[in-house]
Structure 1
Amino acid sequence: MGTFIEDNCEFVEWSRTLIENCSDFSCNHDKDIENFFKDDFENYTNQLLGKSYGFVKTNTSLELVAAFTVSNSMLPVSSLPKSIRNKINRPIPNVKRNSQYPAVLVGQLAVFDSFAGKHIGDEILSFIKGWFIDPLNKTGCRYIIVDAANNEKVIDFYQRNGFKFIFENITEEIEYMKLNLEPEYKRTRLMYFDLIILKS
């Protein structure tokens, strides 16, 4: 027996046609994400800034289960503080170390209300990890990066799935990003997952 999405869902490219042919969906804990997957995703797709995908439960009426958006990114280690640069470089052989490493950014991730509480978010992260180490993947990708909402539930979710903070503390992150705000107003935290863990 597989996971919920393996056993019950079809993987699809997110589109206006898909939304129109499926039952309505909601994401009441985060209306910004709901609005993104109902409307804004088209702008990102058309401007080649991100590509959205989803999982559909196929039964008598098509139900939208979850969605996520990915885009090309990088981890620019040369500009990071020395302690962080050393931490990221350590697992990489000396001859392969570089000033930056290829990554994929998970820009949005949502499990819709009708399917909350089934650990589908964990399954999606596992799916994305497997997708980018698949031998048929068209590009090299060492890391998955997220700019996670800075609240305990979201941070715990990513840490449970093996993600680590790029910066040890939020003050260091603010300084690096040259943001003019106090730590309590920083709404997100940069986190990463090293895909090499799954290749070894």
Structure 2
Amino acid sequence: MSSKNKTQEVISTFICSRDKDIEHFLKEKAIEFKKVSKSRTYFIVDEEALELGDFNILAYFSLAIQVLKVPIEISNRKTKHLDGLFSKRDGEKITEFPVFLIGQLAKNDTYAKLITGKEILEYAISTIYKAHEKIGGRIVLVECADKKSLVDFYQSNEFEVIRQDEDKLIQLIRMIH
């Protein structure tokens, strides 16, 4: 069996009944996004099962680089906080900031009891931090549906709501320390 077929076979076992879009991304888009360097997808696997020859995906997350666009009405103080140094560049208010995007974050229903959302998020932040150490960057962005449970989850993990975008997604950011 080719490695591509094996990868597809393993990915096909991932189930996320809470959000079929997350499952669809992994099964239909993740490999293509990697090929064109749009994002990278990371698996969190059951290491004990791996030692026995089974590749069980407990969860996954995908990371990308994106531009966060904020309204011009945002305060100069907040703009300076986001930029780290300035609120204006060449006399113009800064309204765009490079960010690390956590594009997808999900656990496999089959193994849901073996990992928490917080643990998945910690893996994602750890991976981002490695990139941050090499190239810099200050901000992590997540976008989620306007659901109280999701917003509460991210806020309990040091994210703050920055705005709601045109697609009605809530954008939350976390500064990298």
Range into which the TM-score falls when normalised by the shorter chain: 0.7 to 0.9
Give the one of 50, 56, 60 matched to 1:63: 56
Q: Residues of 1 paired with 2:34 and 2:138: CA distance?
A: 23
| TM-score normalised by L of structure 1 | 0.68
Asked whether 1:82 is paired with 2:74, we answer yes
- Read off the aligned partner of 1:28 and give its amino acid letter: S
| TM-score normalised by L of structure 2 | 0.76
Asked whether 1:52 is paired with 2:41, we answer yes
Question: Contact 1:67–1:109 (CA<8 Å) still a contact in 2?
Answer: yes
Aligned position for 2:66: 73
User: What SS does structure 2 have at the residue aligned with 1:166?
Assistant: strand
User: What SS does structure 2 have at the residue aligned with 1:141?
Assistant: coil
Give the one of 31, 34, 49 matched to 1:42: 31
Question: Contact 2:80–2:86 (CA<8 Å) still a contact in 1?
Answer: no
Report deviation, 1:145. 0.4
Q: Residues of 2 paired with 1:195 and 1:124: CA distance?
A: 17
Aligned position for 2:7: 18
Question: Contact 1:57–1:65 (CA<8 Å) still a contact in 2?
Answer: yes
After superposing the two structures, state which structure 1 stretch, 109-118 or 18-27, moved more: 18-27
Q: Residues of 2 paired with 1:81 and 1:36: CA distance?
A: 34
Q: Residues of 1 paired with 2:8 and 2:97: CA distance?
A: 35
Q: What CA deviation, in whole Å up to 9, does each residue of 1:93-142 have, x standing for no partner?
A: 54697634331011111111123255522112222223333488432121
Q: Residues of 2 paired with 1:52 and 1:115: CA distance?
A: 18
Q: What CA deviation, in whole Å up to 9, does each residue of 1:126-166 have, x standing for no partner?
A: 22223333488432121110111211121111111111111
Q: Residues of 2 paired with 1:135 and 1:45: CA distance?
A: 17
Percent of aligned pairs sharing the same letter:
27
Question: Contact 1:23–1:63 (CA<8 Å) still a contact in 2?
Answer: no
Report deviation, 1:23. 7.9
Question: Contact 1:132–1:141 (CA<8 Å) still a contact in 2?
Answer: no
Question: Contact 1:27–1:113 (CA<8 Å) still a contact in 2?
Answer: yes
Matches within 5 A, 1:130-141: 130-134=126-130, 137-141=133-137
Gaps of 5+ in 1: 1-14, 168-172, 180-185
Question: Contact 1:101–1:142 (CA<8 Å) still a contact in 2?
Answer: no
Question: Contact 2:143–2:171 (CA<8 Å) still a contact in 1?
Answer: yes
User: What SS does structure 1 have at the residue aligned with 2:42?
Assistant: strand
Count of aligned residue pairs for this structure pair: 165
- Read off the aligned partner of 1:82 and give its amino acid letter: I
Give the one of 98, 106, 110 matched to 1:110: 106
- Read off the aligned partner of 2:99 and give its amino acid letter: A
